[in-house]
Amino acid sequence: MSRLVQVGSVLKAQLDLYVSPGSNVRAVGLSANNVAPVIFRNNIQLAWPVLDGTSVLDSAVGAGALYFNEIVGSPGYYSLRFFPDSTGFWRVINSFAGADQIIEIDFISSGSLIPTNDGFITSFVG
């Protein structure tokens, strides 16, 4: 099942990663260097790097990269953020060195960015 998200907004996912499949022990201390993503938009693979998102505000998350970090103050809990910059079907497949897991995120980005005199606003197109 795919999530429906608005184009032009930051997509956030919280990832549960364990030491090994079937384990209930969380993997602690993973960083952006441990993530090997494969990203598709409308069945076309994109080459987006993974960046450390620890000190990156949502307002600074831009298209063209994934932002990954262990949530500050919550060892073993992870955040993945990125900015879908166009409409369509997206699939992000993340494999993790040190956690021996693959997590897939599927979503459909819809809507449009409409220019105004005040900049850009986002509105939903049904």
Does 101 fall in a domain? Answer: yes
Does 123 fall in a domain? Answer: no
Residue with tokens 């970090």: 69
Does 115 fall in a domain? Answer: no
State if pTM tops 0.75. Answer: yes
Does 17 fall in a domain? Answer: yes
Does 25 fall in a domain? Answer: yes
Domains held by the chain: number: 1
Q: Per-residue pLDDT for the chain (126 aa), expressed as one digit of tens each?
A: 567 888 888 989 998 888 887 788 999 999 999 999 999 999 999 999 999 999 999 999 999 999 999 999 999 999 999 998 899 999 999 888 877 788 898 989 988 655 434 444 443 444
Rounded to 5 degrees, φ, ψ at 33 are -70, -20
Structural domain boundaries enclosing 97: 8-107
Does 113 fall in a domain? Answer: no
Tell me which long-range contacts 18-21 makes (C-beta under 8 A, separation of at least 24): 18/99, 18/101, 19/99, 19/100, 20/99, 20/100, 21/100, 21/101
**Contact (CB, 8 A) for 95 and 102:** yes
